[in-house]
Amino acid sequence: RTSLKIGLIPADGIGKEVIPAAKEAIIALGSDIPKPEFIDLVAGWECFTRTGVALPEETLESLKEECDCALFGSVSSPSRKVVGYSSPIVSLRKKLDLYANIRPVVSVAPEVGQKPSVDLVVVRENTECLYVKQEKLTDGKHGKEARATRVITEHASRKIGLMAFELANSRPRKHLTIIHKSNVLSITDGLFRETVRAVPSLPSISGKYDGVTIAEQLVDSAVYRLFREPEIFDVMVAPNLYGDILSDAAAALVGSLGLIPSINAGDKFVMGEPVHGSAPDIESKGIANPLASIRSAALMLRHLGYTKGADRLDVAVDRVIREGKVLTPDLKGTSTTKEVLHAVLGKL
Ligand code: NAD
Ligand code: K
Ligand code: MN
């Protein structure tokens, strides 16, 4: 590749503040990556209120036809049902078959070379579970009744299982915890658990994952243990909803949601995305933490094989956090988004 075409979808709220920061950080990498070309794309709640469409066809087309990868900010989805609106990030994950959401949660040790107290990755299935959004409201004998369909397939569970084993196998500890609730949901979560467990015995694997140790944990006690002894976890693989909740919870362990990156990954495309939402409480104040987005850019580059550029971004972010002088208010600092970006650029 001589150039890298990166779709930028800031979407709503602080997405508009943190995605431009990630763009600057990517540009600053210079020749460590192919020359970046940015393609501005729209989607989100504001786009919907303006045009009646949350995910314009042109955005989807550009991602499919033009872009090598993308960065997504955050959407402001209303909590009530709005006719015609559907969260574009949920649609994008399905439409681009970005079946895995990989969310590393790593604390920064006080000294370089020290072991971080939290160093885990949540691997979240990204296309099914309750997020198929098949909900129904009916009138029952005693008032309204709401029902939702939860879909777990062998196909998607195997794909996410493969991704999780591959990741676990590449990490020093090679430990995988399967998260489920099959003591209650024996059919749905049971299928997820059994399918993931069966991955190492697939004919195509032929012993490749023999070095990976496998544990399992019911989702509720997994949250409990996550808070009490986060060091027991390495890679955690979970169905969509549990993975979403677990990764926000894990974010609390390292100080802020504003630090946690992710990629939405499929076999053909990758989209970086901070784990946090549009943060309406701090929107337009210029104080959103850009580090989750810069780290998401690093994860995206790493996924594409640009290890050097990714490492440089991660090291710069770690140094800013370790020094603790230029931080946004979520990390008890007094700096702005721009000041934190400039601190990172200064460390590159
Ligand atoms: P949120 O992640 O937006 O915010 C939770 C808390 O964390 C808030 O106090 C916020 O100020 C803080 N926070 C989050 N990111 C931060 C950052 N970068 N810097 C500093 N502080 C940060 O979650 P929410 O409040 O539950 O949701 C708000 C909106 O975001 C909702 O409309 C929701 O639908 C949407 N959302 C979108 C996504 C997505 O785009 N994938 C994910 C989660 C929530
Ligand atoms: K987001
Ligand atoms: Mn979430």
Residue 219 maps to which CATH number? 3.40.718.10
Tell me which residue range forms the domain holding 166: 119-253
In a domain, 22, yes or no: yes
In a domain, 6, yes or no: yes
* Nearest atom in ligand 1 to 290's CA: 18
Structure ipTM over 0.95, yes or no: yes
Return the number of other C-beta atoms located less than 10 Å from residue 285's C-beta. 14
- How far is Cα 156 from Cα 288, in angstroms, rounded to an integer? 34
In a domain, 150, yes or no: yes
In a domain, 155, yes or no: yes
List pLDDT tens digits, range 3-55: 999 999 999 999 999 999 999 999 999 999 999 999 999 999 999 999 999 99
In a domain, 114, yes or no: no
List pLDDT tens digits, range 229-273: 999 999 999 999 999 999 999 999 999 999 999 999 999 999 999
- Long-range contacts of 185-188, Cβ-Cβ distance < 8 Å, separation of 24 or more: 185/150, 188/150, 188/152, 188/239
**Average pLDDT value for the chain:** 97
What's residue 319's pLDDT? 97
In a domain, 104, yes or no: no
Unique residue bearing structure tokens 């150039």 = 3
Distance 53 CA to ligand 2 centre (A): 19
* Nearest atom in ligand 1 to 11's CA: 40
User: Per-residue pLDDT averaged across 101-105, rounded?
Assistant: 97
- DSSP code of 132? E
List pLDDT tens digits, range 50-85: 999 999 999 999 999 999 999 999 999 999 989 999
Domain boundary (253, 279, 311) is at: 253
Query: Nearest 5°: CA angle at 304, between 2 and 102?
Result: 155
What's residue 1's pLDDT? 87
For residue 61 the two structure tokens come to 């087309």
Element of type H or E holding 37:
strand 35-40
List pLDDT tens digits, range 123-160: 999 999 999 999 999 999 999 999 999 999 999 999 99
Domain boundary (253, 270, 299) is at: 253
In 196-268, the DSSP E strands lie at 213-218, 235-238, 263-265
- How far is Cα 146 from Cα 77, in angstroms, rounded to an integer? 20
Domain boundary (253, 275, 296) is at: 253
Number of domains in the chain: 2
Q: Is the CB of 160 under 6 A from ligand 1?
A: no
For residue 267 the two structure tokens come to 């076999």
Q: Is the CB of 90 under 6 A from ligand 1?
A: no
Active site (catalytic) residues? 131, 181, 220, 244, 248
For residue 163 the two structure tokens come to 């991704």
